A and B are shown apart, each in its own frame.
Chain A
Amino acid sequence: MGVKLLLEKAHVEGIRSYEVYRREGGYRSVEKALKTMSTDAIVDEVKKSGLRGRGGAGFPAGMKWSFIAKPEGVPRHLVCNADESEPGTFKDRYLMEFIPHLLIEGLIVSSYALGSHDTYIYIRGEYAWIVDILENAINEAKANGWLGKNILGTGFDCEIHVQRGAGAYICGEETALIESLEGKRGNPRLKPPFPAIKGLWERPTVVNNVETLASVVPIINLGGEEYAKIGVGKSTGTKLISACGNINKPGVYEIDMTISVEEFIYSDEYCGGIANGKRLKACIPGGSSVPILPANLLLKTAKGETRYMNYESLSDGGFATGSMMGSGGFIVLDEDQCVVKNTYTLARFYRHESCGQCSPCREGTGWMEKLLLRLENGQGKISDIDLLWDIQRKIEGNTICPLGDAAAWPVAAAIRHFRDEFEWHVTHAEEAQKRNYGLAHYAEPIHVPVTV
């Protein structure tokens, strides 16, 4: 059993209610932080903990906090990004649904550290029932003096507001989220200025993921240095992984980032192996936008070392032979799954979710979707594969926000590692409609030369 910090108490009966949560030691971090620590000390603790943003980019949270501008007389805001829309990711939903007070506790401490008197939770509209859970938790916290005016007699005022999104993936991007929160169309802003300087209503703002803010609670309770001892290297603490796809035990798992990918997939404590006795073909280890990896590159790096479930090891080899930790949406594909179809599904998603603001993403995502549909239906040409490669290359890095990259990477990685499967869809068009390409050499232990 690995260390559990976030979900340790998630299964205690009635933990959703304030009484049980408090009895189990909840809100200790608020007492500790507000009564004994200065705001700078909290930011320092978070810096020392090495906590990295859990939303996908993995940017050090303490660093992000220290960037916040502190102009005289201008309010600052903390925004909790609960717009969890990445396909394959459902960890924040689990956390908010089962142990909502943990998030509220983390929010109070973080708000205090950042000087935010009005803190917002921007939650995706589809999580309608969780809004009630959160608002209930906020009301309970308020009734018990953890929120509102003069918290614990320290003179610190804080209110938490829950705001529902209206169903747009792009509103998970921090500047689009801010626009949406302001009541505008959810288009990402151009950076700079960064939200830390001009965010919500032109005020300094920090936007953090649910899991990141919840992780502040154990950091304060344990101390940053103690927290940093869990995990390995720059991947400190624990990470929630939402595992799905063709595995025996899909669900949300808390790992301490020291276990190998192989152990995570096959051990009974976690995914419990591939469902129905099939073999592993490929995996998207960090949510739909990170590069897909074939089985052999997933379990071992290109150098033949074991791949571990942490930020560094998953991205070992760069995009040529590695992937990313991302948001922790672990999608497993068995030998019966078609990578072309999978790529098409993702491309369709990104075309539908592109905000349409900048041209490469608006036009390019639609083009890629059409080409992939044609390939999937056996009407493609060999030249379409190179064309897809060229389109993704021209989208990546040329857009306002990372959605362009997120749309380009899955296509690039699929072509990079599974080019023969794409070609097979062209050369064996009729057969491709009836059966899948299968495993080919993707699971073979020998190293597959990386194409392109």
Chain B
Amino acid sequence: MAFIELPIIYKSLKCVAFSLRTLREKIKKVSEQQLFKVTIDNITIEVPAGTTILNAARQIGGEVAPPAMCYYSKLQGSGGKCRTCLVEVSRGSEKDPRPMPKLVASCRTTVMDGMEVKNITSPKVIDARAGIVEFLLLNHPLDCPICDQAGECHLQDLSYEHGKEGTRYEFQKRVFKKHDLGPYIQLHMTRCILCYRCVFTADQLTDKREHGVLDRGDHSEIATFIEKNLDHDFIGNVIDVCPVGALTDKTFRFKNRVWFTKPVDAHRDCPTCSGQVQLWMRGDEVFRVTARKDEWGEVKDTTDGKPGWICNTCRFEKKHINDWVIEGPSKVNRHSVIAQGHYIGLQKPEEIMPKVMHGRAPKLLMDIHSVSEVNRTNIELSLIDGPATSKTFNHSEKTNA
């Protein structure tokens, strides 16, 4: 009996599964068609239902996009922890126009139709964000001069863009016992801001997570419970997702500053991953291999549309130029230190401030050039024989006369 019945059950199950799938696809299609109108900093766009405020703001781009230290669009469940992306919702939705009582984490709050969000136009947000930056830097060692992440560190960008010039903290910073994670990954727990990205990465890319967060509160730390190497083909990606210098590449440690190396897109035939990487080179020497990053510092999708995580072999073992097929220089457009303008295809970012301020251009408080007298507009540099020196300017009156 059982032998006869089983296939029937199986078939009917399959049938149910099939109808469920089609139903789900139908729902998906409907929701795809549904567009919500959302206004962020006075700029209105339409986004599909279910989009988060952060992702909607990223579609506008520029200063309107809130900073995110823990949210990572490629990692499910990430976000909500660092609180740098807090925004003010001044109008809930078309149906319920009440404002939200507290600032909300834009990375985890989905938009509603007719929602109005204030990011850089809200003094509350700017104040709270400056507070968050101060909190994040409280126990951060600020050892940027010896940190391999310097130059591509999101915390550097964040504190530069949203922080205050000084700290009011007058106590000793917290320290941790050193913890060895094996030959490839260097952990500096003092620099960690506990974004949990590496935990999610290990959860979602490897079979068995070997590290996690131990302890709680300000003494919680990223570690393996019993000192242990992290070894999985894809565990190297924790280095790429780390927004600070807490997890860095041991094979690149103290080898070079990132802004001296030149990012180059390259690929190889890799049996485990896509093999589409970014090489950080100086001359013919490959110093470091990373995944390709998009403008938000996240791993780019590969040509087949999957997130371009790369395997440990590509990252740590293939450090010779002959291992790779060079595609050309990478387009780097966000991290200023690296994109020092020596690449083609550099586009001037769109001026977004006039839009934010209802078409009014930002007012210049003082035109420094007209006051300082440093740049003498009356001296035509192209007419000078040879390079300009101080002499050119000191004797300019005489020359003109």
Contacts and interface: CB of A to CB of B under 8 A. Distances in A.
Whether chains A and B associate is: yes
Interface of A: 168, 170, 185, 190, 351-360, 362-367, 370, 387, 394, 397-400
Given A358-B80, A359-B136, A398-B103, A367 B220 contact: no
23 contacts: A190-B79, A190-B105, A190-B108, A351-B217, A352-B217, A353-B217, A355-B220, A356-B218, A357-B194, A357-B196, A359-B83, A359-B132, A359-B135, A360-B132, A360-B135, A363-B138, A364-B135, A367-B135, A367-B169, A398-B102, A398-B128, A399-B83, A400-B81
A362 B171 contact: no
Interface in B197-225: 212-213, 215-220
A356 B220 contact: yes
B211 to A, nearest CB: 13
Interface residues of B, number: 35
A354 B216 contact: yes
Contacts of B81: 357-359, 400
A356 B217 contact: yes
Contacts of A185: 212-213
A400 B80 contact: yes
Contacts of B61: none
Contacts of A351: 217-218
Interface of B: 79-84, 86, 102-103, 105, 108, 127-128, 131-132, 134-136, 138-139, 168-169, 171, 174, 193-194, 196, 212-213, 215-220
Nearest to A369: B218
B103 A397 contact: yes
Given A190-B105, A367-B138, A398-B128, A359 B86 contact: no
A168 B220 CA distance: 14
A394 B80 contact: no
Given A190-B80, A190-B108, A363 B135 contact: yes
A359 B82 contact: yes
Question: 9 tightest CB-CB pairs across the interface, nearest first?
Answer: A394-B131, A356-B220, A363-B135, A354-B217, A366-B218, A190-B80, A363-B138, A356-B217, A397-B102
A362 B132 contact: no
B131 A398 contact: yes
Contacts of A356: 194, 213, 215-220
B217 A360 contact: no
Contact of A365 (B139, B196, B212, B217): B217
B83 A394 contact: no
A356 B81 CA distance: 9
Given A356-B194, A397-B102, A398-B132, A363 B82 contact: no
Given A353-B216, A362-B135, A397-B102, 9 more contacts: A357-B81, A358-B82, A359-B81, A359-B82, A366-B174, A366-B218, A394-B134, A398-B83, A400-B81
Name, among B86, B132, B196, B215, the residue most crowded by chain A CB atoms within 10 Å (CB to CB): B132
